[in-house]
Chains A and B, each alone.
Chain A
């Protein structure tokens, strides 16, 4: 019996594209379906279906795709890592899009769905224990649309998992990614010399190397465990240590000012995230990786420090390359 195909949504996202490449190598291009509005690189040779999850009727389109392609497993990675100015579109894609995806998957008899989620959904708070486990309630700042849509996506996942016990639903809560080729609103911080930090705060951060993120995603597709699982690096790193490793000059800002000025700068289009994101530079949201070890057999190979160093050496190479490539 030939095994059913694996579909990946959001293949133009960093994680989606990395996983697609790996699956194409491992399963063969014909066994993998890319679902995205943007086509993946043609040289991968994978099957491709153009579905816009943000459009009404996406569930019908997806149902057709899942049936026609005989999809047995879906990795749902159509999420924005960085906050969006068009919050309406982000809501349609992330919350409603996930609802459509689960509806179609359940109707098509898909056996396993993996939802890409974020440890940031636990919320950064002084009340957090040093290690957040998966049973911790998700309490992101309610005013943060970026987190709200993703929280709703998790709620849809939990609700479908309850109503369709035959469909296995895995939720992977990834720590923020940092490494070669990762581009998000906070990698832009590394483009500057002077980095704003919050005066008197130095939380521990978890920064996940992309190789570990892909390895955990693969393991999740193989093992198909149920429920949420944190995917985190080996060791966290204090924010200021990361800033100094990158040889940046920290500019301490009082937190009361940071929230207000951050919102103003966001409104003016000068920074990549609204002021509420200052929470994540003020308090920790370090998650526990024990469950991933137990249920996925996944042990991260890189620490947060490795991720920072990998990103820095990649940046140095890229800058050097752009210098040599520039016409004389």
Chain B
């Protein structure tokens, strides 16, 4: 009988901060609302995110936000989502595509899904876009988020252009997005990837605070961030069949990478301090 009461209390506690129903990818609105204040604090106080060009995100309909990836842990994805939530007149929410290493990691995986992130694969991205959602993607993948501090703000290869093929197939415009500030939150001076092998982690960085300060090393440094959205690049003129043309796909992929690199470089040139912007 006591066990029954305990179970009932536990269940009541669980549904106080979880919805009883989630969307088809596992997005849980109530859970997101619960953790949102913590992320807002990071957004406004810790990193003082300066968002610009958010009006370049279409008011409605599908669009693919393509951004540079950095910072060891996927904080940049969460901040891009918040920037859109905060500053976009349509109050849109951006479904971020999460790398397998995050989307399959125990504990992190369910959290990301409940916050609206979706495992990055072509089927999922296409399904979201066909539903008219705003989707965020980091084509650099692991090469971007795990890069060393000395390689900061040099955009890695954009995968194999999968994001271009999806945009061509669905006709969704691409919104280039440059994140500056996230490279400095966990500066990876060196890597000791062998440590993470047994745990299935693709990289383990050595930062000024990690592993020196233990769990405190997970605390990101309070750099000043800017998130800038560029003008949308229309993709519907090529037609869905263009997705099968590898030369065109590579060209468009390089074009988008060049645009974002240019936006990042321009922002870096006008930045005077990592911490104050």
Measured CB to CB, the residues of A under 8 A from B are 126-127, 129-131, 133, 193-194, 199-202, 204, 235-238, 240-241, 244-245, 247-249, 255, 286, 303, 305
Chain A to chain B contacts (Cβ below 8 Å), 9 pairs: A129-B124, A131-B123, A131-B124, A202-B109, A235-B21, A235-B22, A236-B22, A236-B24, A245-B20
Q: Which of B82-118 contact A (CB under 8 A)?
A: 100, 103-104, 106-107, 109-110, 113-114, 118
Which residues of A lie under 8 Å from residue B241 when comparing CB positions? none
* Cβ of B79 to closest chain A Cβ, rounded Å: 24
User: With A240-B14, A241-B18 as given contacts, are A247 and B123 in contact (CB-CB < 8 Å)?
Assistant: no
CB contact between B110 and one of A126, A130, A131, A202 (< 8 Å): that residue: A202
The CA-CA distance from A239 to B55 in the complex, in Å, is 39
The CA-CA distance from A305 to B109 in the complex, in Å, is 22
Contact of B7 with A by CB under 8 A: yes
Which residues of A lie under 8 Å from residue B110 when comparing CB positions? 200-202, 238, 240
* Cβ of A153 to closest chain B Cβ, rounded Å: 27
Q: Is the CB of B20 within 8 A of A241?
A: yes
The CA-CA distance from A248 to B18 in the complex, in Å, is 16
User: With A129-B124, A130-B124, A202-B110 as given contacts, are A249 and B3 in contact (CB-CB < 8 Å)?
Assistant: yes
Contact of B194 with A by CB under 8 A: no
Measured CB to CB, the residues of B under 8 A from A are 3-4, 6-8, 10-11, 14-15, 18, 20-26, 28, 100, 103-104, 106-107, 109-110, 113-114, 118-119, 121, 123-124, 127
Q: Is the CB of B24 within 8 A of A244?
A: no
Q: Is the CB of A305 within 8 A of B14?
A: no
Q: Is the CB of B14 within 8 A of A303?
A: no
Which residues of A lie under 8 Å from residue B100 when comparing CB positions? 126-127
Which residues of A lie under 8 Å from residue B114 when comparing CB positions? 238
CB contact between B3 and one of A130, A133, A193 (< 8 Å): that residue: A193
* Cβ of A194 to closest chain B Cβ, rounded Å: 8
* Cβ of B169 to closest chain A Cβ, rounded Å: 15
Q: Is the CB of B22 within 8 A of A241?
A: yes
Which residues of A lie under 8 Å from residue B121 when comparing CB positions? 129
Which residues of A lie under 8 Å from residue B11 when comparing CB positions? 244-245, 247-248
The CA-CA distance from A157 to B246 in the complex, in Å, is 38
Q: Is the CB of B25 within 8 A of A130?
A: yes
Which residues of B lie under 8 Å from residue A126 when comparing CB positions? 100, 103-104
Q: Is the CB of B24 within 8 A of A131?
A: yes
Which residues of A lie under 8 Å from residue B3 when comparing CB positions? 193-194, 249
Looking at A201, A244, A255, which has the most chain B CB atoms within 10 Å of its CB? Answer: A244
